[in-house]
Amino acid sequence: MRETLTRLRYRYWPDHLLGEILSKRWTETAIPVILLLIVGFALSRSLEHFLSPASLADTARQAGEIGFIGLGMALVVIVGGIDLSVGSIFALTDFCALYLLDVLNWPVPAVVVVTMIVGGLLGAVNGVLIGYLRLRAFITTLITLIIYRSAYDLLIQRYSNAIASAFPDIPSWNFIGGGDVLGIPSVALVYIVIAIFGHIFLTRLRPGWHITAIGGSRRSAYNSGIPVRRTIALCYVASGVLTSIGALFFAARLGTVGGDIGVGLEVIVLTATVLGGITLGGGKGSVVKSMVGVLIVLLVTNGLTAMNARGGVNRMALASILLVAAMVDIRWQKNRTRIISKVYVAPTYHALPPPPPTEIGQGGPFEQNDRLREVSLIGLGRIEAPEDVILDRNDVLYAGSRHGDIIRFFPPDYERMEVFAHIGGQPLGMAFDKEDNLYVCIGGMGLYRIKPDGTVEKATDETNRSIYSVNDDSRLRLADDLDITDDGLIFFSEATVRYEMDEWPVDGLEARGNGRIICYDTKTGATHTALRGLKFPNGVAVASDGQSILFAETFGCSIKRYWFAGPKKGDVEIVMDNLPGYPDNINLASDGNYWLALVGMRSPSLDLAWKMPGFRRRMAKRVPVDEWLFPNINTGCVVKFNEQGKILESFWDLKGLNHPMITSMREHRGYLYLGGIANNRIGRFKLDNADPDFVQYDRRWGKSS
Amino acid sequence: MKRVRISQQEIVFAVFAALFLSFSIFLNGFLSADNMLTLLQNVAVLGILGLGMAIVVIGRGIDLSLIAALAVPGGLVLQMVQNGHSLPASLVAAGLLAIAVGLVNGWLIAYAEVPPLFATLASGLFVAGLGQAALFQLDVVQWSDGMAGFERLGQGSILGIPTSIVMFAIACVVVFVLLRKTRWGAYIYAIGDNPFAARVTGIPSRPIIVLQYVVAALIGCFAGLVMAASVNSMPTRIFNSTLIYDVILVVVLGGIGLSGGRGGVVNVIIGTLLIGTMLNGMTILNIPYAGQNLIKGLVLLVAVITDTFLNPRNEETAQQGDI
């Protein structure tokens, strides 16, 4: 009863989604958005006219003006700086616009252009000092804040009367200040256009990526050839220009040059930026975050003003918001990965019946023996981590290595070795096609093709994205083993979509069906996912009918058969289940049966733990990774089975001295070649009663000319 | 060939001497005894604040809430006495408020790891808002009878030297002893020089950082009391002024690099003298307030640029996002 409940709960409750959602970048934007909704809701309940069109339009105008400054600040903060002089630049450009319009009577377009240029120049001062002279951003912009502010004070002493007495009545100027299109204020429209461009700029264009890269790590950005100084300087120029746009709208709306214009604006904008979730110190941020931050701050300050709060209360509220937002931001940035790694592992219920016996004397096909004890060794200490081994028609032995190479050994003694091809990722399963191209599954990279002359080509590294997945599963994370059909379809397994290659034991701990079988068509180059929801699919071999494949599910401890063509197309059948160990690669044997490697044997403790998801979840949360349960991969064996699911023989090595771990095996001219992903050697074992002329790919594709 | 290196301290002192000399020659009334006393009196408060800022800057921080720590606890004393509390009780309350400000700053910076700029910017804003909203009835807190005798802290003279200068001198001695004669002072230098190395060495970095800000806030409070005593009131709107920039100017011009671990009390004195001379000269020249600010800003800019060239930032220990 309880077991059933546990099973149902873990079958239907999507535990894995929490960790996947938290590890998305957009969750960081979600928190300020929720805060904005709460603030908006609270204000609409407590203030009468909050939602009236007039009030909303007024808020939109203010939000637009501050929003421009917010965008500039966002840029500067993302690039790893800060701009405190925005308040003073705002005041100066406001003055500039009104002076040009009211005192010099310039036409509106000229006023707009010149004001923006002035804003850019004021920003350029910051840019040169901080970008090129490498001054500290905070102190530098603090100083330019004073300088610009005192320049403004000096200027308005002379001209404020002239500006105050002028009442320009120019339609285009009035439209900038108070016009709207379909009820949307002009400033909001322009802001939306610039914000959309800004979003595309930051996320899709090269200079935007440069900005983020510099903020993330200035030195690395410099080392990778990004023009760091120029980019930083241009960010401050952009901040100045954006501030001047805000000032233009402000000037057109109010037309005043009061002494306190722009005073304390930098604190408001800074609060908005931090509150929106743009990380202080750079490297992270978006336009949406800036926008949301501005809206929250504006709603709070306007709301407090509407409730007749004293100026001091406003200050305290702003300061508290700034502090709390900065603190939350800093703590989150610091602990994000730790929190995610705690909740990411989501074990599920996985019950297996007691395994068949393997002990000596118990009988049965899995009865242990010592037949593998006498394997001879190839390349001892000269190769690392040959997960799969393969031999071509000329008896040359190929194996992958941990360093991202394909190594080959030459007959007859397999002493001479050379690097056949360098790929860069760890090679796992391998197969030859008709033209003797070597297809290799590369962990973390995808499916690659190596031509006989050693050139490396990418076959595929992505598949169709499944609709309901939270994690982007279109990229291949752990392509594992493959085989090629007569029609040139390559079926390969992807062991897990939730973990990287080095985290594969964690996938076993989770025991969730995270893996899939993917099909790559060599004729069209198209890739699609054939089967999903498999428990660590591993070895793949085309079955004798040419219409189906056999594949192993490592943590499902089973072999299954999938029909990709013919009358049973689409069906999946279990060939063998409840294996005593974890099946790995499958390959053809000379007598038409199949070899299967069991990389490790099941243990009672992990079998029990698989039935107790809560226990495993607590372990993942409370115990350090290196003390988690780990599937046994120390002892294993090679078995031979037929398509009916009968085990024919098994080969064991009780001591495991010569060849400790087996992930793959290949039969060739009467010998069995053994690979192991944790080994520094390749094993070679003489088979009795085997066809001494068997060459897998001669049999598979016919003798070559 | 041996290169002659001139330290910033020497440059600033030379500039000060040149400025002083030219003002003495070209400005009528600059060198008079009266003006000299005014000059020193005007900069005494600035100098005391500079000492507080120096402690924090040496420990690789910055304290922008120093003006709030000057205005609000100082104003609180006057306000409480006005409301009928006794002077000692008010002083204790002000001291506790200052310590609280320092503790909050220190906690935010050392434990919550908020950059000092933001922590102190926000806490200063908060404390100023608190004073405005909850503590003071008027922007300028007036002197009341209960304060009688307290004005001697800022007015009159001891042995012929104006009291505020004596107070500055006392503060100098105290800070000098703290920085150079105690273990904590050595720790502050170590943390400022290389925070990670200091931490690895086993220095209790976090408590020491908290201590820095508490001491700075207390010094700010002391400066506030001296200021209130010398003008017989507490203009709390001083928070909105550019005084904090003057304080930073004193520290940076004096030669205490913003990257921390360098400088001492002597630098603050030199910086204070230079700023005092400059402000005094500009006042005699009748330059308007905004113009003075402009010149101050430009001088500060030159000082910071020079500082960057003389004390380049240590890329090994500078933190990512250390703005």
pLDDT digits (tens, 9 = 90+) for B156-166: 777 777 888 88
Q: How are beta strands A405-409 and A417-422 bridged, if at all? A: antiparallel
From B112, B115, B321, residue closest to A80, measured CB to CB? B321
Q: DSSP letter string over A296-326?
A: HHHHHHHHHHHTT--HHHHHHHHHHHHHHHH
Residue bearing the bigger pLDDT, A555 or B12: A555
- Determine the angle formed by the axes of helices A186-204 and A171-178, rounding to 10 degrees: 70
Instruction: State mean pLDDT over A245-267.
Output: 84
Contacts of A136 in chain B (CB under 8 A): 258, 304, 308, 313, 323
Structure confidence at residue B320 (pLDDT): 46
- Here the tokens at position A217 are 């790590």
SS3 B230: helix
Does residue A49 carry a pLDDT above 80? no
Instruction: State mean pLDDT over B140-150.
Output: 77
Q: Which of the residue ranges A22-26, A329-333, A701-705 would you say has the lowest mean pLDDT?
A: A701-705
Q: DSSP letter string over A353-386?
A: PPPPP-STTS-STT----GGGG-EEESTTT----
- Here the tokens at position B261 are 């671990």
Nearest CA in chain B to A79: B321
* Cβ <8 Å between A154 and B296: no
Structure confidence at residue B302 (pLDDT): 84
Structure confidence at residue A430 (pLDDT): 95
Contacts of A283 in chain B (CB under 8 A): 321
CB A373 within 8 A of CB A658: yes
Contacts of B126 in chain A (CB under 8 A): 315-316, 319-320, 323
What is the distance between the alpha carbons of residues A92 and A261, in angstroms, rounded to a whole number? 9
SS3 breakdown of chain A: % helix, strand, coil, rounded to 5?
45, 20, 35
Does residue B321 carry a pLDDT above 50? no
Q: Residue A160 burial by CB count (10 A; 0-12/13-18/19+): exposed, middle or buried?
A: middle
Percentage of chain B beyond pLDDT 90 is: 25
What is the distance between the alpha carbons of residues A474 and A297, in angstroms, rounded to a whole number? 39
Nearest CA in chain B to A260: B240
Structure confidence at residue B261 (pLDDT): 83
Instruction: State mean pLDDT over A98-113.
Output: 87
What is the distance between the alpha carbons of residues B263 and B185, in angstroms, rounded to a whole number? 12
Structure confidence at residue B317 (pLDDT): 52
Structure confidence at residue A601 (pLDDT): 92
Residue bearing the bigger pLDDT, A68 or B305: A68
**Nearest CA distance, B37 vs chain A (angstrom):** 28
Does residue A609 carry a pLDDT above 90? yes
* Cβ <8 Å between A315 and B296: no
Q: Is B318 on the interface with A (CB under 8 A)?
A: no
- Here the tokens at position A697 are 């790919």
DSSP 8-state symbol, B242: S
List of residues 6+ apart from A623 with CB closer than 8 A = none
Contacts of A144 in chain B (CB under 8 A): 297, 301
What is chain B's Cα-based Rg? 20
CB A365 within 8 A of CB A648: yes
Instruction: State mean pLDDT over B235-243.
Output: 78
Structure confidence at residue B316 (pLDDT): 55
Does residue A412 have a cis peptide bond before it, meaning omega lies within 30 degrees of 0?
Answer: yes
Structure confidence at residue A338 (pLDDT): 82
* Cβ <8 Å between A274 and B258: no
Q: Is A280 on the interface with B (CB under 8 A)?
A: yes
Q: Which of the residue ranges A161-175, A626-640, B186-200 would you say has the lowest mean pLDDT?
A: A161-175
Q: Is A316 on the interface with B (CB under 8 A)?
A: yes
What is the distance between the alpha carbons of residues A63 and A69, in angstroms, rounded to a whole number? 10
What is the distance between the alpha carbons of residues A689 and A562, in angstroms, rounded to a whole number? 31
**Nearest CA distance, A238 vs chain B (angstrom):** 19
What is the distance between the alpha carbons of residues A676 and A684, in angstroms, rounded to a whole number? 12
B323 band by pLDDT with thresholds 50, 70 and 90 = low
Q: Is A26 on the interface with B (CB under 8 A)?
A: no
What is the distance between the alpha carbons of residues A79 and A76, in angstroms, rounded to a whole number? 5
Residue bearing the bigger pLDDT, B296 or B89: B89
From B296, B298, B308, residue closest to A134, measured CB to CB? B308
Instruction: Note the pLDDT tens digit of each residue in B64-99.
Output: 899 999 989 988 888 888 888 888 898 999 999 999
Structure confidence at residue A655 (pLDDT): 83
Structure confidence at residue B102 (pLDDT): 94
* Cβ <8 Å between B114 and A327: yes
- Here the tokens at position B192 are 């400022």
Instruction: State mean pLDDT over A240-251.
Output: 92
CB A239 within 8 A of CB A73: yes
A610 phi and psi, to 5 degrees? -65, -25
Percentage of chain B beyond pLDDT 70 is: 93
- The residue among A221, A73, A85, A281 whose CA lies nearest residue B322 is A281
Q: Which residue has the tokens 């404020």?
A: A160
**CA distances to A19, B28, B76, B79 from A11, in Å:** 17, 92, 65, 68
Amino acid letter, residue A228:
V
Structure confidence at residue B1 (pLDDT): 41
SS3 A257: coil
B62, B72, B121, B305: best to mutate for the A interface, most A CBs within 10 A: B121
- The residue among A684, A595, A669 whose CA lies nearest residue A393 is A669
Average pLDDT value for chain A: 89
A103 band by pLDDT with thresholds 50, 70 and 90 = confident
DSSP 8-state symbol, B165: H
User: How would you label B91-117 residue by residue, b for 16+ Cβ within 10 Å and e otherwise?
Assistant: bebbbebbbebbebbbbbbbeeebbbb
- Determine the angle formed by the axes of helices B183-193 and B163-181, rounding to 10 degrees: 80
B2 band by pLDDT with thresholds 50, 70 and 90 = very low
Does residue A705 carry a pLDDT above 70? no
**CA distances to A181, A241, B134, B237 from B288, in Å:** 46, 30, 34, 20
From B123, B240, B296, residue closest to A319, measured CB to CB? B123
Ramachandran region, residue A196 (left: φ > 0; alpha: ψ -120 to 50; beta: rest): alpha
What is the distance between the alpha carbons of residues A360 and A650, in angstroms, rounded to a whole number? 12
Does residue B138 carry a pLDDT above 50? yes
Instruction: Note the pLDDT tens digit of each residue in A384-416.
Output: 999 999 999 999 999 999 999 999 999 989 999
Give the highest mean pLDDT range of A155-164, A456-465, B230-239: A456-465
Q: How are beta strands A682-686 and A558-563 bridged, if at all? A: unpaired
What is the distance between the alpha carbons of residues B55 and A160, in angstroms, rounded to a whole number? 43
Structure confidence at residue B315 (pLDDT): 59
Q: Is B316 on the interface with A (CB under 8 A)?
A: no
What is the distance between the alpha carbons of residues B244 and B66, in angstroms, rounded to a whole number? 7
What is the distance between the alpha carbons of residues A230 and A30, in angstroms, rounded to a whole number? 33
* Cβ <8 Å between A315 and B123: no
Q: Is B94 on the interface with A (CB under 8 A)?
A: no
List of residues 6+ apart from A289 with CB closer than 8 A = A28, A29, A32, A74, A276, A277, A278
What is the distance between the alpha carbons of residues A609 and A632, in angstroms, rounded to a whole number? 13
Does residue B241 carry a pLDDT above 70? yes
Report CA torsion sign: A645, A646, A649, A650. Answer: positive
Instruction: Note the pLDDT tens digit of each residue in B4-51.
Output: 556 667 777 777 888 888 888 887 777 777 777 777 777 888 999 999
